[in-house]
């Protein structure tokens, strides 16, 4: 795959979205988040999502011009009605609100109602970390995970993310689903005729898929505890914002595209200085990360901390560019030069 300069890709995405009528600030939010994911090697949540998000807008699932409404009488907590915005736009706006409120209150939480798929959860958590705070981000999603010992999926893969700032660019950047693995990984294994390991998925009868049968759903992380975590996130997101349960949500990648999905999030920002000297916190955090990174590995692979693999890919891709698949290049046709540099919006499309 050819690589394209991240700034060029970002500019091309913004220009494309502006031409489709998205407000400039929203176009920037979406490009920021997707280019960030691509830079960090999470290509499933990167540039390629733009096409899908535009489909959500065109279909009517998401609004091009949402009107956000923040309600509630409490300084550190509020409901953020996203008015069926794109999830990334809603998430970024809600986290900005949380960061601002936490600056004054010490901690703040926003429950986000009427949202959509918001991409990578850690992106929003890292917004807080960039502001010197701790960010905690949760989202519900359509049900793909069975309860422990159950047959019917009732939890989404419901991610949780936490970001905390260390020294310089260092930090703790956790982003995890509460299923044992991703649906796409199971599908990939099946497509290649590989055995699906125990504990990852169930068959149509709720038995572990490693025992045979057709793919049913995903197993919760580590068994019953993952079920609890998935429910915890469902409660914080869907119940605090009075939105549908995971099992009531439509599937992300399937029809209908004209009906809002009513995804919900829960965003928390924590002002470190409310508890401890931020310099001490950053120093101790980097010491903790170093303790893990330098600890004795069982095999040849060093011990990592959450966010390390992504940070390494990012260092490389900032230098060498983001590899784009043919469809992604086609989607940006007219906005990106073949050499990876951005074109003027009135300029000649090179691809």
Contacting a copy of itself within 40-79 (CB under 8 A): 72-79
- Letters for 150-169 (x = contact with a copy of itself by CB under 8 A, - = none) are xxx-x-------x-x-----
Q: What is the CB neighbour count within 10 angstroms for residue 324?
A: 23
CB closer to a copy of itself, 245 vs 257: 245
CB 89, min distance to a copy of itself, A: 21
CB closer to a copy of itself, 64 vs 304: 304
Cα 297 to the center of its chain, rounded Å: 29
85 φ/ψ sector (left φ>0, alpha ψ -120 to 50, else beta): beta
Phi, psi for 331 (deg, rounded to 5)? -60, -35
Beta bridge mates, 218: 145, 201
Q: Does 279 bind a copy of itself (CB under 8 A)?
A: no
Q: In what order do the strands lie in the sheet with 77-81?
A: 69-74, 77-81, 107-115, 263-270, 134-139, 160-165, 171-176
**Burial state string for 329-340 with b = 16 or more CB within 10 A and e = fewer than 16:** bebbebbbbeeb
Q: What is the DSSP letter of 302?
A: P
CB closer to a copy of itself, 151 vs 350: 151
CB 124, min distance to a copy of itself, A: 16
With CB under 8 A, what is the number of residues at the site for a copy of itself?
80
Residues 184-213 that bind a copy of itself (CB under 8 A): 199, 202, 205-207
Instruction: Find the binder of a copy of itself among 25, 70, 303, 325 (CB under 8 A).
Output: 303
Phi, psi for 343 (deg, rounded to 5)? -100, 155
CB closer to a copy of itself, 241 vs 262: 241
Residues 309-348 that bind a copy of itself (CB under 8 A): none
CB 128, min distance to a copy of itself, A: 13
CB 150, min distance to a copy of itself, A: 4
Q: For residues 265 and 118, give the distance between their C-alpha atoms in angstroms, rounded to a whole number.
A: 9
Nearest to 342 by CA among 3, 2, 6: 6
- Letters for 106-125 (x = contact with a copy of itself by CB under 8 A, - = none) are xxxx-x--------------
Provide the 3-class DSSP secondary structure of residue 4.
strand
Residues 203-262 that bind a copy of itself (CB under 8 A): 205-207, 221-222, 224-229, 231-232, 234-236, 239-242, 245, 247
CB closer to a copy of itself, 11 vs 164: 164
Residue with tokens 């700034």: 7
CB closer to a copy of itself, 116 vs 133: 133
Q: What is the CB neighbour count within 10 angstroms for residue 157?
A: 26
CB closer to a copy of itself, 276 vs 338: 276
Residues 122-151 that bind a copy of itself (CB under 8 A): 134, 146-151
Nearest to 97 by CA among 265, 209, 258, 212: 265
Q: For residues 293 and 288, give the distance between their C-alpha atoms in angstroms, rounded to a whole number.
A: 9
CB closer to a copy of itself, 303 vs 338: 303
């Amino acid at each position: 795959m050819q690589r394209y300069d991240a700034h060029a890709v970002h500019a091309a995405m913004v220009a494309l979205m502006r031409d489709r009528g998205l407000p400039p600030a929203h176009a920037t939010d979406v490009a920021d988040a997707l280019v960030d994911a691509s830079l960090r090697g999470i290509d499933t949540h990167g540039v390629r999502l733009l096409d899908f998000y535009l489909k959500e807008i065109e279909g009517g699932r998401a609004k091009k011009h949402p009107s956000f409404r923040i309600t509630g009488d409490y300084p550190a907590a509020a409901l953020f009605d996203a008015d069926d915005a794109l999830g990334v736009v809603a998430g970024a706006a809600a986290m900005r609100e949380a960061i601002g409120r936490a600056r004054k209150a010490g901690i703040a939480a926003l429950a986000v109602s009427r949202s959509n798929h918001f991409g990578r959860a850690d992106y929003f958590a890292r917004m807080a970390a960039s502001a010197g705070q701790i960010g905690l981000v949760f989202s519900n999603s359509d049900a793909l995970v069975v309860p422990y010992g159950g047959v019917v999926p009732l939890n989404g893969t419901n991610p949780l993310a936490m970001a905390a700032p260390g020294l310089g660019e260092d930090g703790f950047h956790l982003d995890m689903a509460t299923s044992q693995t991703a649906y796409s990984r199971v599908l990939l294994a099946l497509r290649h005729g590989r055995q699906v390991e125990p504990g990852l998925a169930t068959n149509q009868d709720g038995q572990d898929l490693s025992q045979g049968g057709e793919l049913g759903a995903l197993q919760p992380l580590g068994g019953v505890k993952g079920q609890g975590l998935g429910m915890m996130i469902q409660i914080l997101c869907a119940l605090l914002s009075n939105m549908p349960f995971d099992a009531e949500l439509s599937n992300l990648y399937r029809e209908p595209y004209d009906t809002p999905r009513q995804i919900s999030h829960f965003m928390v920002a924590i002002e470190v200085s409310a508890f401890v000297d931020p310099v001490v916190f950053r120093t101790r955090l980097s010491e903790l990360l170093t303790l893990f990174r330098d600890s004795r590995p069982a095999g040849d692979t060093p011990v990592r901390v959450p966010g390390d693999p992504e940070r390494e890919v990012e260092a490389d891709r900032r230098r060498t560019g983001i590899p784009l698949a043919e469809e992604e290049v086609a989607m940006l046709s007219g906005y990106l030069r073949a050499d990876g540099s951005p074109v003027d919006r009135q300029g000649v499309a090179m691809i």
